[in-house]
Amino acid sequence: MKKCQIKYVDFKIGKKLHNILNQLKADKKYSYGRRSNLHNPNASVSYSYSHAIFNELDKHYTSMKD
């Protein structure tokens, strides 16, 4: 999230971001989910995101000027 705060002027962690990420979690191109306990099917899942996610976030947030 630090990279997003640096890259985008209007970036805030909130409902808008979570809605975007929830839509992108289903696409393996943008995220990878890993269970905290591989033997427990009810364990929580932590997601890692690829750099391709910035292409999608560019559509929703304003990039900083150089």
Residue 64 belongs to a domain: no
pTM (two decimals): 0.76
Q: What is the residue range of 14's domain? A: 2-57
Residue 63 belongs to a domain: no
Residue 45 belongs to a domain: yes
Expressed in angstroms, the distance from the first to the final Cα of the chain is 20
Residue 65 belongs to a domain: no
Total structural domains within the chain: 1
Residue 40 belongs to a domain: yes
Three-class DSSP category at 57: helix
The pLDDT tens digits of the residues spanning 12-65 come to 999 999 999 999 998 999 999 999 998 998 999 999 999 999 999 999 999 987
Residue 6 belongs to a domain: yes
- The DSSP code for 47 is E
Q: Are 10 and 61 in contact (CB under 8 A)?
A: yes
